[in-house]
């Protein structure tokens, strides 16, 4: 029997391409576009592996990581995001994800992340260039947002920033490292 994989992303084109690529690599793939659909599929047939988008309408991928681990603690989860930050990466791992990848990620990168043994990589490349001021701001905002469980108003108050200004900053892509 093929290993089961659940792909959860709100981008249907991405889901379709990744589904075909992972089926070619021997997985039996189920797909969902939102939290509720993913939970229903996982409760019916807990997947051995899951690839989850961080940002989706409704509940975030972090909430889904936690829920999938409650359904089956053995599910190996990789979180994908176009909005990578240190804060969300740390939270994803704390909640039980085995890896966190920034989009765009190739199918082979995702497969390698799913198959990692859970140990850290002491040979990981260390970036010699410090983060830009814009990237540091983005990281700090993400950290404070995580502390306030995604509450924009509470985060804005904590940062002493107008809520609309914070929303505008959050709607932009993160600054490059």
> Mind listing the pLDDT tens digit for each residue in 111-147?
988 887 656 554 556 556 666 777 778 777 887 887 7
Q: Are 63 and 100 contained in the same domain? A: yes
Q: Domain check: are 79 and 144 in the same one?
A: no
In this prediction, residue 45 carries a pLDDT of 93
Tens digit of each residue's pLDDT (9 = 90 or more) over 60-114? 889 999 999 999 999 999 998 877 777 778 888 899 999 888 877 888 889 988 8
How confident is the model at residue 14, as a pLDDT? Answer: 87
Backbone angles phi, psi at 110, to 5 degrees: -65, -45
CATH number at residue 137: 1.10.10.60
Band (pLDDT 50/70/90 cuts) for residue 175 is low
Is the domain of 68 the same as that of 142? no
Contacts of 158 by beta carbon, 8 Å cutoff, 6+ apart: 144, 147, 148
Please give the Cα distance from 54 to 138 (Å, whole number): 16
Any idea what the Cα angle at residue 50 is, between residues 84 and 53, rounded to 5°?
Answer: 30
**Do 42 and 83 share a domain, yes or no?**
yes
Domain assignment present for residue 127? The answer is no
User: Domain boundary at 83, 114, 145, which?
Assistant: 114
Predicted local distance difference test score (pLDDT) of residue 92: 86
Asked if the structure places residue 104 within a domain, the reply is yes
Q: Is 155 part of a structural domain of the chain?
A: yes
> 65 and 143 in one domain?
no
SS3 readout for the chain: CCEEEEEECCCHHHHHHHHHHHHHCCEEEEEECCHHHHHHHHHHCCCCEEEEECCCCCCCHHHHHHHHHHHCCCCEEEEEECCCCHHHHHHHHHHCCCEEEECCCCHHHHHHHHCCCCCCCCCCCCCCCCCCHHHHHHHHHHHHHHHCCCCHHHHHHHHCCCHHHHHHHHHCCCCCC
43 three-class SS: helix
Same-domain check for residues 13 and 95 = yes
Does the pLDDT of residue 7 top 90, yes or no?
Answer: yes
The yes-or-no verdict on residue 54 having pLDDT over 90 is no
How many domains in the chain?
A: 2
Q: What is the CATH number of the domain that holds 51?
A: 3.40.50.2300
Question: Can you give the pLDDT at residue 19?
Answer: 94
Could you tell me if 156 and 109 lie in one domain? no
Q: Residue 49 in contact with residue 114, Cβ under 8 Å?
A: yes
For residue 143, the enclosing domain spans 133-171
CA-nearest of 135, 114, 142, 113 to 55 is 142
Model pTM score: 0.70
């Amino acid at each position: 029997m093929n290993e089961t994989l659940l792909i959860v992303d709100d981008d249907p084109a991405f889901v379709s391409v990744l589904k075909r690529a992972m089926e070619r690599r021997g997985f039996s793939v189920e797909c969902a576009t939102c939290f509720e659909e993913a939970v229903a599929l996982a409760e019916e047939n807990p997947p051995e592996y899951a690839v989850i988008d961080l940002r989706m309408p409704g509940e975030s991928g972090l909430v889904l990581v936690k829920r999938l681990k409650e359904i089956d603690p053995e599910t190996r989860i990789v979180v994908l995001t176009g909005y990578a930050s240190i804060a969300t990466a740390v939270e994803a791992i704390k909640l039980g994800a085995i890896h966190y990848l920034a989009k765009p990620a190739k199918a082979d990168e995702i497969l390698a992340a799913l198959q990692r043994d859970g140990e850290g990589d002491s040979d990981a490349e260390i970036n010699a260039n410090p983060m830009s001021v814009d990237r540091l701001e983005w990281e700090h905002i993400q950290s404070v947002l995580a502390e306030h469980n995604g509450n924009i108003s509470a985060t804005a108050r904590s940062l002493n920033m107008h809520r609309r200004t914070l929303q505008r900053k959050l709607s932009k892509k993160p600054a490059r490292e």
